[in-house]
Amino acid sequence: MQLIFAYYEKHGPVGLIHVDAHADSSDEMLGEKIAHGTPFRRAFDEGLIIPEKTIQIGLRGSQYSVKDGGQSWQVEQGFRVVPAEECWYKSMSPLMAEVRDMMGQVPVYLSFDIDALDPAFAPGTGTPEIGGLTSIQGLEIIRGCRGIKLVGADLVEVSPPYDTNGTTALTGANLLFEMLCVLPGVKYSD
């Protein structure tokens, strides 16, 4: 959330593309308001993100309490939620065309949690969830951000102790490279 706050200070509220297995929008996690499962609730509460310009892609993980109730809170706030099962067996290119239209010319932040990918592609994370996106779909999402007014991006939750063969680190590094290539002003040839 601190990164989003920094971009908010420069650009005002931003659109958000959040790629993750988990919504990270719980009000509390294990009794705490600030935890790895709460950043986008806090960003919403602080007015850092534009709800109708927020999309969460690949969600499939469990919630931290019965009160979290799936993705109903996000939908009620105006977020677009694309559960993982809506991504299965599909290219993400058509979805990203919709996302580009949805975002228009507002400044946008991209947050990519490595556990959005199925553990077959990125096992080195602390919260793996089966049924995730493929590495190809991850590339399609990031490359689909070309033309969006990205002001910042992150890739989180790569955990070296769980990444015994380095697959997750390699995948993460490649996804970060792709993010750099779609930032406005960066020249990239196909």
**Cα(101)–Cα(177) distance, rounded to whole angstroms?**
24
pTM above 0.75?
A: yes
Q: For a pLDDT cut of 90, what percent of the chain falls above it?
A: 82
Asked if residue 102 has pLDDT above 60, the reply is yes
DSSP state of 133: B
Asked if residue 138 has pLDDT above 90, the reply is yes
What is residue 66's three-state secondary structure?
helix
Q: Dig out the tokens for 12 from the structure.
A: 């005002």
Give the 3-state DSSP-derived string for 72-118, with helices as H, strands as E and coil as C. Answer: HHHHHHCCEEEEHHHCCCCCCHHHHHHHHHHHCCCCEEEEEEHHHEC
**Bridge partners, 55 (sequence order):** 17, 80
